[in-house]
Amino acid sequence: MISALFLDLDDTIFPTRSIPDHISRPFFQAIRASNKHLTDADLNNAEQAMWNSPIHLVFQQYHFTEEMISGALSALEAANLTGLIKPYPDYNFVRNLPCEKFLITSGFTQFQKKKIRALNISSHFREIMIDDPLLDGKGKRDAFDRLIEKYQIQKKEILVIGDNPSSEIEAGNELGLTTILIDRRNTPPGEGLAYYTFPTLSAMIDAFPDLRTPNTEASSQSAG
């Protein structure tokens, strides 16, 4: 029996590429304005990487200075996402599943909170945890451990659902949880990936028939 879902946010519940240019552009401009050591090629690569990887890891990989990070965060703090982003259509499938749901997302607290408010999904979750690297975030494995202990959830009853093999999927695998990679980009398979890989959230229903209810059947069919 599945009793709990541990869900990622970015590119699992909503597409990060749907963030409008007028929101993302000031963020990237602030980074470039403060840059004194990276080449244009490095900056271009870093910008592309930030669409697919946790921002703080890209900051580390490209050795962003404190000035660059501060400028970028200031741009995010000024952003208003209300009415500009929405969940993937197949998120309704997950919303209707008859089990507890927990949202565990990595990123900068204020910007992640803005996304969650703009998506209007807070009430769908038993608890929301933001693993913020600027606030001594310890990673998703630690977050999962805390939720398991706090709510006394049996590991065999948990599904970890996300898009990032090196984040929530790796953390779930290390803890012996059942992991599901939502691979909307059809990336090549690699070692150490999830127990299951599906192109959409609704596609996983056949692997977990005990999750079926009349509501989820309807959502699955409408989401395609």
pLDDT at 213 over 50: yes
pLDDT bracket for residue 190 (50, 70, 90): low
Mean pLDDT of 27-38: 94
Mean pLDDT of 85-93: 95
Single pTM value for the model: 0.88
Share of the chain above pLDDT 70, in %: 92
Domain spans of the chain, in order of start? 4-15+85-223, 20-77
pLDDT bracket for residue 188 (50, 70, 90): low
CATH tag, 4-15+85-223: 3.40.50.1000
pLDDT bracket for residue 189 (50, 70, 90): low
User: Of the given ranges (15-24, 161-170, 180-189), which has the lowest mean pLDDT?
Assistant: 180-189
**Who contacts 208 (Cβ-Cβ below 8 Å, separation ≥6)?**
2, 159
Q: Where are the alpha helices (DSSP H) in the chain?
A: 21-34, 40-52, 55-61, 66-77, 91-95, 109-119, 140-151, 170-174, 214-223
